[in-house]
Amino acid sequence: MYKTARETIDFCAALRDRLDGLQGVDVVVCPPYTSLDEAVGVLAATEIAVFAQNAHWEREGPFTGEVSPPMLREIGATGSLVAHSERRQLFAETDESAARRIAGLLDAELHVIACVGETEAEREEGATEAVLRRQVDAIRGVVGGDDLDRLAIAYEPVWAIGTGRTATPDQAEEAHALVKGMLNVRVLYGGSVKPENAEALLAQPDVDGALVGGASLELESFAAICETAARLA
């Protein structure tokens, strides 16, 4: 919940200029609903995509406060995040509701970045694999073969979100390999990614990109991560 519409215009214009001509990496920004239209307008002539942060599974209906995939599509958004750890922790997102959101977005021919990951307690209990298998199984149940090119999964260990802690490259690689063994899609790492650790994480064979949180709020840090990803592509 950062950046007003005016702030989004300024950020996207600066990002557009900074990344002009950058090759080898797909760049996506995910502003709040109130800034989506502005982001689409500024980035329309670029390769930078605009995603929402969440979407409902129905096309319309009595769901006050929700936004549907067709609504996103009409204003030019090309996809959405689903089941970010904050949605799971703070807003009662479940594996089942996440799967329904993913299905709704894919049915509307939009792209999805679906988030999975374990809490600190689950990692300490040795339950990381079981948690990831359960979460990815729920996603796999609603994804058809034709959908795979529009789906990415972001592995975000919850204990690394906003804490400054980051999974080691080996920990990230192990989790990514597990996810890819279950579903043949791109897998991104999310969890305190910043310019200082991006290269070590992105160099892992099964890490296909990054879901950048706090470091995406500042132009220089986000652009530096994009440039690192392009260099390693």
Any idea which residues carry the catalytic annotation? 84, 156
Cβ–Cβ < 8 Å for 223, 198: no
Euclidean distance between CA atoms 10 and 191, whole angstroms: 26
Q: With CA atoms as reference, report the closest residue to 167 among 210, 219, 113, 227.
A: 210
Helices and strands (H, E) in the chain, number of each type: 10, 7
Euclidean distance between CA atoms 225 and 125, whole angstroms: 32
Euclidean distance between CA atoms 50 and 44, whole angstroms: 9
